[in-house]
Amino acid sequence: MLFEKYRLVAMPPAKWAELIVDPDKCTGCGRCVKTCPVQLLEIYNKVSRSNYRYDAFRCLTCENCATVCPEGAIRIEKDYRVPRGFWKNENLYTGTKTLPAPFGKNNGTDFESYQHKLTEVERVIYKRRSNRLFKKKQVEPELLNRIIEAGRFAPSAGNNQPWKFVVIQDPKVLTELNRRSKKVLRFFSRLCIPGTWMDKYTPGDKKAKLKRWQKWLLWVLVWFVGGDADQRAHGGLNAVTSDPDQSVFFNAPTMIIFLADKRAIGGTEFDLGLCAHSMVLTAHSLGLGTCYIDLITKALEYDKKFQKRLGIAYPFQVITSLAVGYPQGKIDGIVRREKPRVTWIK
Ligand SMILES: Cc1cc2nc3c(=O)[nH]c(=O)nc-3n(C[C@H](O)[C@H](O)[C@H](O)COP(=O)(O)O)c2cc1C
């Protein structure tokens, strides 16, 4: 339809994935509740269940809840699909999600049976999951040094090595980072989230809709911030801003802020992505857990005063941030992902 891609920008009608908890297996340990970045689960009668208050923001299908569950009590079915309008994605996916299938024919049925054939790098890549359950124990400087060294040897356009890191371990500065980030994020949540979901302790109105001005604003915003206007991003935003107890970086004892020299050749974001992910994989291979926290990046962008306090100044720009710490129990593990979209030209 003509103008189709200009329609339904704000909260498009979507089919969401379904979270299914087996009450007979669930012990109510609450690990899934803490790990969900969108806060979609709660403990009710000592068993985990979907939190139906958050009707507009649902499952991202990261499957972390299933991975951290020691009893295998959770599974995710179906997927996020938008049938029409600006965010239409039905045609983008192959429609099949599988576990890792590096040897094709296994088709991901039993990772344990073939993982001995994989390299250590492959194993870490497949098993790495975003870690949102951290022990209080601090990461030792020797390990952080190993992680940063791995980043230093990442490729970069023109070998510019445009990265710089701010490593925060001081509890006072971390508390301040959380508080200030929430303040900025709360402002943004007022712009794009239906009001009733702003306060975790207020019973949610499942029927609450965006106000007319919010819809118009989102329509404008999408041209400036692109995918950040996607309703799934608002789910994460809502989780951290509606719950005073939720830390934006999950109380990780160490935060690494990634900066890029704006004067470097090519797109520094890509360089920094390569650098950050070399560090992430190294951290996981050392038994640590990590989670990228872009919400912090967004908040820092608008808090120049705090940037100054952290020593961030021109020509450096905040690109992303990473929570690092020791995982509470087993978190890394195998999940399903969409089959790749590949055009083979032979
Ligand atoms: C650039 C980037 C930014 C992210 N920002 C956040 C964030 O702000 N908060 C969060 O909880 N997770 C964040 N994540 C983690 C994603 O939610 C996660 O990678 C995704 O759901 C897939 O799950 P997995 O990492 O366990 O495979 C981010 C990931 C990336 C790559």
Rounded distance, CA 292 to CA 296, Å? Answer: 9
Average pLDDT, the chain: 90
More confident residue, 338 or 169: 169
Whole-structure pTM value: 0.94
pLDDT of residue 2 exceeding 60, the answer is no
Ligand 1 pocket by Cβ (under 6 Å):
37, 60, 62, 64, 129-130, 236, 291-295, 320
Q: Is residue 237 part of a domain?
A: no
pLDDT of residue 50 exceeding 90, the answer is no
Radius of gyration of the chain (CA): 21
As for how many domains the chain has, the answer is: 1
Q: Is residue 284 part of a domain?
A: yes
pLDDT, tens only, 287-302: 999 999 999 998 999 9
- What is the share, in percent, of the chain residues with pLDDT greater than 90? 58
Report the run of H or E that residue 212 belongs to, with start and end.
helix 212-225
The alpha carbon of 290 and the centre of ligand 1 are apart by a number of angstroms equal to: 10
Q: What is the predicted pLDDT for the residue at 193?
A: 83
Q: What is the predicted pLDDT for the residue at 220?
A: 87
State which ligand 1 atom lies nearest to the alpha carbon of 129: 26
Q: Domain range holding 259?
A: 141-169+253-325
Mutate to test the pocket of ligand 1, among 38, 293, 335 (most ligand atoms within 8 A of CB): 293
Range scoring the smallest mean pLDDT among 61-70, 92-101, 153-162 = 92-101
The alpha carbon of 346 and the centre of ligand 1 are apart by a number of angstroms equal to: 35
State which ligand 1 atom lies nearest to the alpha carbon of 67: 26
Question: Which DSSP state fits 138?
Answer: P
Instruction: Give the orientation angle of helix 171-192 with respect to helix 294-301, to 10 degrees.
Output: 80
Q: Quick one: average pLDDT of 153-174?
A: 98
CA end-to-end distance (rounded Å), the chain: 35
DSSP-derived 3-state class of residue 290: strand
More confident residue, 18 or 277: 277
Q: Whose CA is nearest to atom 22 of ligand 1?
A: 62
Rounded distance, CA 213 to CA 157, Å? Answer: 42
State which ligand 1 atom lies nearest to the alpha carbon of 60: 21
pLDDT of residue 9 exceeding 70, the answer is yes
Question: What are 203's two structure tokens?
Answer: 């019973």
pLDDT, tens only, 196-227: 666 666 656 667 788 899 888 988 888 888 88
State which ligand 1 atom lies nearest to the alpha carbon of 64: 26
* Contact by Cβ (8 Å): 151, 163: yes
pLDDT, tens only, 305-344: 999 999 999 999 999 999 999 999 999 999 999 888 889 9
pLDDT of residue 13 exceeding 80, the answer is yes
Q: What is the predicted pLDDT for the residue at 24?
A: 95
Confidence of residue 230 (pLDDT cuts 50, 70, 90): confident
Neighbours of 116 (CB within 10 A): 7
Locate the DSSP E strands across the chain: 18-21, 41-44, 47-50, 74-77, 97-98, 163-168, 254-261, 289-292, 316-325, 337-338
Q: Is 119 exposed, middle or buried (0-12, 13-18, 19+ CB in 10 A)?
A: exposed
Q: Is residue 189 part of a domain?
A: no
Question: What are 44's two structure tokens?
Answer: 């009710």
The alpha carbon of 209 and the centre of ligand 1 are apart by a number of angstroms equal to: 26
pLDDT of residue 285 exceeding 80, the answer is yes
Distances (CA, A) of 128 to 121, 188, 296, 297, 335: 11, 30, 21, 22, 10
Q: Is residue 14 part of a domain?
A: no
Distances (CA, A) of 300 to 228, 257, 297, 337: 15, 10, 5, 31
CATH number at residue 147: 3.40.109.10
Rounded distance, CA 37 to CA 289, Å? Answer: 15
Distances (CA, A) of 73 to 30, 49, 52, 66, 111: 12, 11, 19, 7, 19
Mutate to test the pocket of ligand 1, among 125, 126, 257, 291 (most ligand atoms within 8 A of CB): 291
The alpha carbon of 291 and the centre of ligand 1 are apart by a number of angstroms equal to: 6
Q: What is the predicted pLDDT for the residue at 54?
A: 63
Q: Is residue 160 part of a domain?
A: yes
Rounded distance, CA 334 to CA 102, Å? Answer: 13
Q: Is residue 225 part of a domain?
A: no
Mutate to test the pocket of ligand 1, among 97, 125, 292, 336 (most ligand atoms within 8 A of CB): 292
Q: What is the predicted pLDDT for the residue at 56?
A: 66
More confident residue, 90 or 3: 90
Q: Is residue 306 part of a domain?
A: yes
More confident residue, 229 or 180: 180
Rounded distance, CA 62 to CA 92, Å? Answer: 18
Greatest alpha-carbon pair distance for the chain in Å reads 59
Neighbours of 316 (CB within 10 A): 21
Q: What is the predicted pLDDT for the residue at 113?
A: 86
195: number of CA atoms within 13 Å, CB side? 4
Distances (CA, A) of 60 to 135, 236, 265, 291, 328: 25, 10, 34, 15, 22
Q: Is residue 302 part of a domain?
A: yes
pLDDT of residue 176 exceeding 70, the answer is yes
pLDDT, tens only, 109-157: 688 888 899 999 999 999 999 999 999 999 999 999 999 999 999 999 9
